[in-house]
């Protein structure tokens, strides 16, 4: 919990609306240990909620007008809950408007509301601040208006908000992790059935460290949808031969190799990446359960290489950071985390080496790119919930 932010949103709400908020929600960001871009291909992922997130103060408004106040952006926005026609790509308020609209689409009786929010979750770092905002909105409105919707309904409504009001055809991992996270537990999620298992992340003398490249290339959103379309093209080719194939989740490398000649070379590489990334998720979980951090390291390095050469979603800054880390004996693997083209690397670093690692990487990265790195120590937390 961040008491400074909590006090900030409470005092801002009282200042803007002349009364105390009716409820406070904390909605976390997430990390993903392995399984990048497999979620919209209905495969496997291994995410967890983290101890950085967005804090939201809610209250009912009079009539149908809803007013949203972003403390960090120093902006506010009003809209009619019954006629939410404002859609400007990737503006922060679309995540909120979209979520409330999707809840209404489920038949929920959402009325006008006021909301103030702020957070300590870095934007553009691959920790899914968008899903945190969507899921916190869903949890808050579900509680404020006694909607009695299930967590699964809230998760799916949050995902659809991103599809329909932001234009990013994301999978369900981010929203699931932000809602269903559990302290000190990672989630092995089957993105097709939504079956999931929790198990403790036990790294012993090592811990997780995020390194923010502080670059965010504009390709991320547009190329995300391109990658999804390329995967769907591959599925369409294979479905002619294997009617049971409905997603790359159903595809084996043997099937892909058998019909490689029918694929555009780029589409083949995209599909190869996804099929093997699903295998990496399962192998990673097995290695964690056996406490085999050397195998964990190999899998993370392999995933990074595949994201660079097959799915082509990294960038020079990320490649430099991951290569630096993967050459260190004290680091048990590093890879890019998130949609791509910037953001963070996720690293498993020996505790006694952390400060040295930060200094060495910072110095070399600064010399190479003239950019400073931000580092985030990661603790795994509970998912979105009502605090008061």
What are phi and psi for residue 346, nearest 5 degrees?
-110, 130
Integer Cα distance of 288 and 306 in angstroms: 21
Integer Cα distance of 82 and 302 in angstroms: 49
Integer Cα distance of 103 and 299 in angstroms: 39
Q: Which residue in the list 39, 174, 250, 298 is annotated as catalytic?
A: 174
174 among known catalytic residues: yes
CA atoms within 13 A on the CB side of 213: 30
- Active site residues per annotation: 174
């Amino acid at each position: 919990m961040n008491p400074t932010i909590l006090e900030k949103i409470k005092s801002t709400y009282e200042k803007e609306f002349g009364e105390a908020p009716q409820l406070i929600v904390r909605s976390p960001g997430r990390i993903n240990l392995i399984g990048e871009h497999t979620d919209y291909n209905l495969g496997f992922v291994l995410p967890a909620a983290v101890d950085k997130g967005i804090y939201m103060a809610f209250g009912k408004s009079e009539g149908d007008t809803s007013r949203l106040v972003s403390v960090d952006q120093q902006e506010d926005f009003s809209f009619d809950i019954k006629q939410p026609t404002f859609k400007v790509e990737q503006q922060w308020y679309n995540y909120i408007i979209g979520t409330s609209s999707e809840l209404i689409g489920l038949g929920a009786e959402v009325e006008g509301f006021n909301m103030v929010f702020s957070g300590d979750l870095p934007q553009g770092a691959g920790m899914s601040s968008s899903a945190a905002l969507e899921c916190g909105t869903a949890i808050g409105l579900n509680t404020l208006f006694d909607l009695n919707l299930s967590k699964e309904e809230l998760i799916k409504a949050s995902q659809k908000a991103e599809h329909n009001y932001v234009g990013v055809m994301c999978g369900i991992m981010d929203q699931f992790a932000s809602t269903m996270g559990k302290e000190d537990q990672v989630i092995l999620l089957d993105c097709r059935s939504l079956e999931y298992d929790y198990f403790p992340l036990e790294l012993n003398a090592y811990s997780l460290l995020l390194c923010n490249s502080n670059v965010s290339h504009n390709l991320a959103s547009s190329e995300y949808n391109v990658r999804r379309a390329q995967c769907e093209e591959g599925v369409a080719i294979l479905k002619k031969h294997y009617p049971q194939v409905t997603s790359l989740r159903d595809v084996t490398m043997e099937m892909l190799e058998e019909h490689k000649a029918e694929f555009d070379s780029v589409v083949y590489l995209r599909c190869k990446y996804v099929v093997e990334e699903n295998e990496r998720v399962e192998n990673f979980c097995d290695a964690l359960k056996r406490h085999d951090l050397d195998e964990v390291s190999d899998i993370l390095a392999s995933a990074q290489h595949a994201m660079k050469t097959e799915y082509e979603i990294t960038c020079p800054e990320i490649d430099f950071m991951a290569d630096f880390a993967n050459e260190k004996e004290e680091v048990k693997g590093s890879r890019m985390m998130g949609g791509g083209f910037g953001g963070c690397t996720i690293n498993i670093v020996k505790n006694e080496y952390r400060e040295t690692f930060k200094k060495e990487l910072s110095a070399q990265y600064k010399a190479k790119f003239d950019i400073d790195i931000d580092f985030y120590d990661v603790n795994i937390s509970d998912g979105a919930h009502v605090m008061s």
